[in-house]
């Protein structure tokens, strides 16, 4: 939790410096938007990956991996 907070503060500072933002709220908005966009991309890629693994993968090996071979 603390590392996430530190990362967000650093990202806000980086946006202010890189884009030469005068407004702190604009930098906060861009930071939150970047975090949201990254989360959406990760979710979509994971969803497609899981879908294709379940579609084309070896279902017996997948069941054994999940259940521990029981």
pLDDT tens digits for range 28-60: 888 899 999 999 999 999 999 888 888 777 777
Closest CA to 30 of 46, 8, 63: 8
Rounded Cα gap, residues 32 and 7, in angstroms: 12
Question: Comparing 68 with 70, which gets the higher pLDDT?
Answer: 68
pLDDT of residue 60: 77
- As a whole number, mean pLDDT of residues 12-36 equals 86
Rounded Cα gap, residues 28 and 31, in angstroms: 5
- Which of 8-12, 52-56, 60-64 holds the top average pLDDT? 8-12
pLDDT of residue 41: 97
Q: Is the pLDDT of residue 17 over 90?
A: no
């Amino acid at each position: 939790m603390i590392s996430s907070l530190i990362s967000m503060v650093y990202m806000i500072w980086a946006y202010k410096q890189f884009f030469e933002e005068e407004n702190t709220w604009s930098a906060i908005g861009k930071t939150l938007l970047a975090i949201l966009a990254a989360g959406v991309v990760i979710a979509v890629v994971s969803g497609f990956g899981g879908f294709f693994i379940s579609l084309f993968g070896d279902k017996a090996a997948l069941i054994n991996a999940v259940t521990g071979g029981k």
